[in-house]
């Protein structure tokens, strides 16, 4: 049953190189969006690294690729650094967390998700000023929720994360698994979407006023921008009631997400933008205008967060330097592709933002 939902295929280095060579002759490959290309995405489970051979097969010869962010001491430094003593506030980022006892990947029990949830609660108490949680999606494995009253809201969220963690808004987007059985997958009416909730004070569910949305925080000198990019990852429309309608809707929503981000990157007055979707930056290489806006922006510092891969790192993504980005899919809901945990952001009184990972012992998460 689990194999039905597996999205990542492991291959040897030699197999990847052969696949890449066989596809590099398709000169228009880099011009086509991912859902029209043969995917040879492969992640080595232990390290969570995007192989350059697979990237070349997807996006063209290496000369056309933006470089992945180098593994450096910076990430390790962020892991070990002390919290800022003078802050305007802080936030937590989590993704890919809604573990299911019947259908799951190589996380054999809820222990991983529960351990990460407890570590989040501990970090919230330590900081004392966490304003919100950024949730990058795949909140309910394997098929999402069917309504605003689905019992999974209780069993997979409220029963796992401490009440103080749920006493602040969870800023959210849909992941590909969230769409499976959600009416949102085949309805033009966003009111039908089981996770959409426009009342930021309604903490019984996530805050998601629309599928693509933004929220200003002038008191923190930042703005949050959320994008539904599920066409980018070829979301699993085959599991919905109307696959063709689902595919049409997701293409429209993806373009609306890109449009919203580009508009806010130009017009927002905030010093900092927190931008997130379910997908890390390497999934949007076919939109160089978006990648450029994430990195080459003189008006804002931008922190970008994605998930989908089940780990926490800055080495498997495409760089947005001098800005910053993370993949934060190590929430314990499906599998272990790398480090498991979450990311913390601290907003200094001088409006600088520092982000760093908080990880758990892999022995509690990953079975091999």
What CATH number did the domain enclosing 233 receive?
3.60.21.10
Domain ends where: 64, 86, 106?
Answer: 64
Domain ends where: 64, 92, 116?
Answer: 64
Residue 314 and residue 237 share a domain: yes
Residue 17 and residue 96 share a domain: no
What confidence tens digit (pLDDT) does each residue in 260-308 have?
Answer: 999 999 999 999 999 999 999 999 999 999 999 999 888 999 999 999 9
CA gap 163, 36 in Å, rounded: 43
Query: Minimal CA–CA distance to 17: which of 50, 58, 54, 70?
Result: 54
pLDDT at residue 57 tops 60 = no
Note whether 294 and 57 are within 8 A (CB). no
Residue 88 and residue 23 share a domain: no
Q: Which residues contact 301 (CB under 8 A, 6 or more apart)?
A: 271, 272, 273, 323, 324, 352, 353
Section 130-143 average pLDDT: 98
What would the DSSP string read from start to end of 120-157? HHHHHHHHS-EEEEEE-S--STTT--SSTT-THIIIII
Query: Minimal CA–CA distance to 92: which of 47, 140, 125, 49?
Result: 125
Q: How many domains does the chain have?
A: 2
Residue 320 and residue 185 share a domain: yes
What would the DSSP string read from start to end of 233-264? TT--GGGSS-HHHHHHHHHHHHHHHHHHHHHH
Residue 85 and residue 31 share a domain: no
250 half-sphere exposure, CB direction, 13 A CA radius: 29
Rg (CA), the chain: 19
| pLDDT band, very low/low/confident/very high, at 105 (cuts 50, 70, 90) | confident
Distance, CA of 243 to chain centre: 23
Domain ends where: 28, 43, 64?
Answer: 64
The pLDDT assigned to 13 comes to 36
| pLDDT band, very low/low/confident/very high, at 366 (cuts 50, 70, 90) | confident
**Coil/strand/helix, residue 197:** strand
Residue 118 and residue 211 share a domain: yes
Structure tokens at 276: 């997130």
Residue 158 and residue 42 share a domain: no
N-term to C-term CA, the chain: 18
**Coil/strand/helix, residue 105:** coil
| pLDDT band, very low/low/confident/very high, at 106 (cuts 50, 70, 90) | confident
Section 78-100 average pLDDT: 81
Residue 162 and residue 26 share a domain: no
Note whether 312 and 294 are within 8 A (CB). no
Residue 307 and residue 182 share a domain: yes
Structure tokens at 99: 């573990």
Could you tell me which residue, 124 or 6, shows the higher pLDDT? 124
Residue 58 and residue 12 share a domain: yes
The pLDDT assigned to 277 comes to 98
Residue 185 and residue 39 share a domain: no
Structure tokens at 361: 């012992």
Domain region containing 81: 73-364
pLDDT at residue 34 tops 60 = no
Residue 174 and residue 42 share a domain: no
Please tell me the least confidently modeled range out of 55-69, 138-152, 241-255, 320-334: 55-69
H-type alpha helices, 51-209 = 52-59, 73-80, 111-127, 152
Q: Which residues contact 300 (CB under 8 A, 6 or more apart)?
A: 265, 268, 270, 271, 272, 273
């Amino acid at each position: 049953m689990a194999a039905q939902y597996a999205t990542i295929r492991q291959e040897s280095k030699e197999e990847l190189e052969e696949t890449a060579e066989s596809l590099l002759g398709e000169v228009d490959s880099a011009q086509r969006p991912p859902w029209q290309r043969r995917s040879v995405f492969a992640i080595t489970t232990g390290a969570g690294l995007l192989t350059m051979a697979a990237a070349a097969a997807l996006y063209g010869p290496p000369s056309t690729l933006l470089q992945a962010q180098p593994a450096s001491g910076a990430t390790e430094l962020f892991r070990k650094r002390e919290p800022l003593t003078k802050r305007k506030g802080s936030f937590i980022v989590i993704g890919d967390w809604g573990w299911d006892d019947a259908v799951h990947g190589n996380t054999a029990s809820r222990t991983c998700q529960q351990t990460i949830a407890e570590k989040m609660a501990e970090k919230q108490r330590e900081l004392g000023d966490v304003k919100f949680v950024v949730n990058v999606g795949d909140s309910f494995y394997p098929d999402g929720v069917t309504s605003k009253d689905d019992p999974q809201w209780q069993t997979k969220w409220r029963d796992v994360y401490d009440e103080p963690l749920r006493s602040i808004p969870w800023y959210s987007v849909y992941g590909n698994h969230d769409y499976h059985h959600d009416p949102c997958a085949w309805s033009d009416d966003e009111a039908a979407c089981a996770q959409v909730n426009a009342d930021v004070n309604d903490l019984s569910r996530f805050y998601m006023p629309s599928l693509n949305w933004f929220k200003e925080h002038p008191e923190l000198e930042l703005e949050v921008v959320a994008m539904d990019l599920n066409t980018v990852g070829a979301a699993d429309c085959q599991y919905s009631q109307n696959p063709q309608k689902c595919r049409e809707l997701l293409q429209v929503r993806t373009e609306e997400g890109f449009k919203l981000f580009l508009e806010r990157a130009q017009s927002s007055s905030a010093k900092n933008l927190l931008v997130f979707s379910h997908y890390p930056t390497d999934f949007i290489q076919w939109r160089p205008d978006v990648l450029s806006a994430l990195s080459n922006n003189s008006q804002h510092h931008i922190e970008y967060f994605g998930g989908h891969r089940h780990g926490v790192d800055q080495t498997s993504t495409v760089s947005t330097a001098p800005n910053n980005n993370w993949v934060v899919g190590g929430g314990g809901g499906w599998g272990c592709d790398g480090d498991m945990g979450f990311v913390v952001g601290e907003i200094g009184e001088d409006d600088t933002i520092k982000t760093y990972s908080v990880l758990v012992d892999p022995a509690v998460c990953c079975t091999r």
